[in-house]
Amino acid sequence: MKMKTIFKKITATMLAATMVVGMSACGSNAGTTNTSSSDSSGSSGTTAEAGGETTAAVDNSDIKIGVSIWSSTDVLGSQCKLILDAAAEALGVQVQYVDQGHVSEKVTASVEQLVAAGCQGIIICNSSDTEMTSAIKTCNDNKVYLAQFFRIISEENSADIYQAAKDSPYYIGAVHEDEPANGEALVNILLEKGDRNIGLIGWEQGDATWLGRWEGYQAGVDKWNESHPDDQAALSEPQYAGTTSEGGSKAAEALMAADPNLDALIPAGGGGDPLQGAIAAVERAGKTQDIDIVSTDFLPDLGDRLENGSMAGESGGHYCDPLIAFMMVYNAVKGNYSGFEGKFEDVAFPYLYVSSSDDYASYEQYFVDQLPYTSDELVEMSQLDMDGLKEAAKKVSIEDAASRAGN
């Protein structure tokens, strides 16, 4: 069975459930746990689909790595789980997930839960910097290695927490995207299309990633207005959707009701479900051709949506970000990486951008039809030093995946 089939079946089942109960897994599964054992006994068989190759797993069955994630079953979360399960099986380690829904107390509890489950290393997608104070302390107290994915502690806004991370012998670092640049790139797609009244949908107030994207949206509009004094654009105050489809739908409805001249929406992300809710609301209102939508976190039907106009562009393809964090923690547990005290490993990860169905077709070939790394390549990645791993992260692109696939 091809990875495309597996991924689309997973997504279709998940989306059907989402539509039935009007929520995302972030809301319903917060605090739930599932474990994939990727030792010789096998697990879901995901790695057999990684690039179409099967490779005997390395024997690391005594290693367990925990994943604290908003949801391992929504659009983006399920993609992350696919690549992490593939890496776990290729390396012969166990992996355990806790879905915390970006609910602050559940984020901090998830770290305690994973430590209690015997994880020697944890990767975490937290919601706010403040949650990392407890996460770092818990890992320090239990000698468990820790790395962030899709997030970084702000040295400017959370100096004390950043210093605590830097001082920790167990905190390794963070893999993250340039969110202000991402936000500016997305709003520029809308401005170039002629949109001037842009509605914003965030997921949680205070979320570091959302704030970075909002900064970028505003910067893009400010630059446009400075250069076009007679053709001004405006951003709405954000509506907050949480991480559910229902929340995205209500936020879009509120923005359309508040501004009859609304001609664009930016649901900021949140794993994909708020975006789907917003699209559905626009479709119900009969405004698909009147309101352009851009967002972050690729949808599985993005190619079709770019074709029919229900999406104008999207950034995404970053589901391998947690793979880099996983490799960091894996190598720390193995003793290959050490000397973290006094350091903060900052790993930049690129977004991929698509604004046409042709763009998405190229992405789909190498990131949906199959995983972008074979089992052998995942093992090779695990053998890179920290600088090599940072370079591997920087290189992620459609062109790189095509080259490694021999095309």
CATH of region 179-316: 3.40.50.2300
Q: Which residues lie closer than 8 Å to 78 by C-beta, 6 or more apart? A: 7, 10, 11, 14, 72
pLDDT of 75 reads: 85
Residue 260's Cβ-count burial label (10 Å; 0-12, 13-18, 19+) is exposed
User: Is 299 within 8 Å of 314 (Cβ atoms)?
Assistant: yes
For the domain 3-177+319-404, what is the CATH superfamily, name and number?
A: Response regulator (3.40.50.2300)
CA distance 69 to 151: 11
Is the fold of 3-177+319-404 the same as that of 179-316?
A: yes
Which residue ranges make up each domain of the chain?
3-177+319-404, 179-316
Per-residue pLDDT of the chain (407 residues; tens, 9 = 90+): 344 443 443 444 333 333 332 333 333 344 556 655 443 223 333 333 455 444 445 779 999 999 999 999 988 899 999 999 999 999 999 999 999 999 999 999 999 999 999 999 999 999 999 999 999 999 999 999 999 999 999 999 999 999 999 999 999 999 999 999 999 999 999 999 999 999 999 988 888 889 999 999 999 999 999 999 999 999 999 999 988 899 999 999 999 999 999 999 999 875 678 999 999 999 999 999 999 999 998 888 999 999 999 999 999 999 999 999 999 999 999 999 999 999 999 999 999 999 899 989 999 999 999 999 999 999 999 999 999 999 999 999 999 999 998 88
